[in-house]
Amino acid sequence: MTETEKVIERVAGAPAVMLEKTLDTSKQISDSIVNHTHIKRANQYWKTLGPGLTTGAADDDPSGIATYSQTGAQYGFQLLWLAGFTFPLMAIVQEMCARIGLVTGRGLAGNIRIYFPRWVLYTSSILLFVANTFNIGADLGAMAKATQLLFPEVSFGGLIIVFTTLSLLLQIFTSYEKYAKYLKWLALVLLSYVFSALSVKINFHDLAFHTFIPSITLGKEQIILIAGILGTTISPYLFFWQTSQEVEEQILGGKTTLKLRQNETTEEEIKTMRIDVWSGMFLSNIVMYFIIAASAATLFSHGITNIKTASDAALALKPIAGDNAYLLFTIGIIGTGMLAVPVLAGSASYALAESFRWKYGLYKKLKEANSFYGVIIISMLIGLSINFSGIDQIKALIYSAVLNGIVAPIILVVIVLISSNKKIMGTRVNHPLTTGFGWLITLIMTCVAFAVILSPLF
């Protein structure tokens, strides 16, 4: 090739090289823009999440974990479909509660006080306090037992006192804005159950079949267990907490509460609330799904069918599923306990404070709402003392389930009536389909109540 031909070739090839470099640079810029957009959307979605996320996450407390673990250990994958079945039921109820909080500017007990007889108010609030206190005791005990699995040399009593003190300090002396952020991030600990399930060997054919095909064995034990799952998932303390947290969020945003906000509640607020609530309930139910799946794939398949506590489930996982699943499961118990205990204590305190017209709210300081914080302190201390009283944790949970079984249908009737009342809710009233589902859920939970109450007689 002559020198002239070489020059011509270089000149002719230059645009191609430049074009290739330009395209490469454009692709890098395009990828960067796409990644930035994804990050921005994820950040916006995270900011949207709030009361719904923490309410859903609090539902998977140590007592719930014990129930789901027992379900998987005793029946394998058979009852996996319950996670999908309870998801819309739970989300519909919590959305109604959230809308009531947004539109009325009051918690659930405040609305019951105005629109219903006093016996409904006092019965539901007092039973809620008693049920939540038993549940707090059981959860504190489960957290202590789980911690002992990692640090066996630490005393059980000392751990319960530490967890109680830490929880009280956060509730009383931390600003609501910071406290809400802590609860929000703490909800992510639930992902440990997803990872623990994915770290064990699972028969995906059986998993898929029982996910979509309902199956029930008409036996006493399974019916009671199903009632327990529904009672754990659609639980009164979640109703009160969700409604009151929507009010707290309004106050945090500088909005006026304790008055009807029919015309002030915007479509954007409703949309944001729905994303938050349905995301939180989805997280709650997907965690239930993976706990049942993990227990079925490990405990059931190895003949371990009797799990009494969440810590029992974690301990049984270790020799079967290995250290990774065991560690993730144990950390999850501690984390969810730290999330659920304040919700249990707080929801009871909101109910009693609104019932007796005390000043209330986590945004207030201790001296501004001493009765409200006093209920939280008393509930926590009684829960702590249950662990030293000789009462069996399982019995405490049964007592809690029975009380919740009595309260849930009453509160559900109230929720459906308030959220479908146009005089109260204005244009934010229930869609007729939502009201229909509300009454269906109430009927289901009434059947659950009878199953729980009558279970000792079986």
Mean pLDDT within 31-54: 79
Report whether 266 contacts 439 (CB < 8 A).
no
In DSSP notation, 309-341 reads SHHHHHHHHHHHH-HHHHHHHHHHHHHHHHHHH
- Total structural domains within the chain: 1
pLDDT at residue 30 is higher than 70: no
In this structure, is residue 412 part of a structural domain? Answer: yes
pLDDT at residue 301 is higher than 60: yes
Mean pLDDT within 164-193: 85
d(CA 331, CA 306): 22
In this structure, is residue 185 part of a structural domain? Answer: yes
In this structure, is residue 15 part of a structural domain? Answer: no
Mean pLDDT within 432-447: 94
Looking at residue 457, what is its pLDDT? 54
Overall size of the chain counted in residues: 458
Looking at residue 320, what is its pLDDT? 74
In this structure, is residue 263 part of a structural domain? Answer: yes
Looking at residue 252, what is its pLDDT? 75
Measure CA 349 to chain center: 19
List the Cα angle 146/148/151 in 5-degree steps. 125
Looking at residue 247, what is its pLDDT? 86
In this structure, is residue 300 part of a structural domain? Answer: yes
User: 265 or 168, which is more confident?
Assistant: 168
pLDDT band at residue 292 under the 50/70/90 scheme: very high
d(CA 205, CA 202): 9
Instruction: Give residue 316's domain range.
Output: 57-457
Predicted TM-score of the model (pTM): 0.86
In this structure, is residue 1 part of a structural domain? Answer: no
Domain of 365: which CATH number? 1.20.1740.10
Query: Using CB atoms within 10 A of its CB, is residue 340 exposed (0-12), middle (13-18) or buried (19+)?
Result: buried
The fraction of the chain above a pLDDT of 90, given in percent, is 42
Q: What is the pLDDT of residues 372-395, one digit of tens each?
A: 999 999 999 999 999 998 877 667
In this structure, is residue 11 part of a structural domain? Answer: no
In this structure, is residue 364 part of a structural domain? Answer: yes
- Residue 299 φ then ψ, to 5°: -70, -55
Measure CA 84 to chain center: 15
In angstroms, the Cα distances linking 105 to 75, 100, 348, 435 are 44, 8, 18, 21
The fraction of the chain above a pLDDT of 70, given in percent, is 88
User: 453 or 20, which is more confident?
Assistant: 453
User: 406 or 239, which is more confident?
Assistant: 239
Count CB neighbours of 27 within 10 A: 10
